[in-house]
Amino acid sequence: MGTFHDDKHELHGTTIVVDTTSDEIFIGRCEDIDEREVILLDVDVHRDGDEGRSKEDYVQHAAQIGFWKKYDRVAIASEKVVSVRRLGDL
């Protein structure tokens, strides 16, 4: 039993990794995805090379234990999105 949201994108409620055309990669809970943007809640962002870690190093670490929220909500414009993956698939 739970609460469900059938009016949202199929990834709603799922923790996703959003890579972008910039040096930033985001992890957060998908609120919704439409033609204009990807909206994430409880979001962390990593910049390529920060703390000596590449984007992929950061994602692999997050896949093991999770991630620390930095922002309540982030909207990423669709034209900046390179890929969207489920963190649980990594």
Least Å distance between CB 22 and other proteins? 24
Q: How many residues bind other proteins (CB under 8 A)?
A: 18
Selection from 20, 38, 40, 39 nearest residue 28 by Cα: 40
Binding window for other proteins (CB under 8 A); candidates: 8-16, 31-39, 52-60, 71-79? 8-16
Contact assessment for residue 44 and residue 62, using Cβ atoms and an 8 Å cutoff: yes
Closest to other proteins by CB, 1 or 79: 1
Give yes or no for residue 1 binding other proteins (CB under 8 A). yes
Give yes or no for residue 87 binding other proteins (CB under 8 A). yes
Rounded Cα gap, residues 16 and 33, in angstroms = 11
Q: Please tell me the total number of residues recorded for the chain in this structure.
A: 90
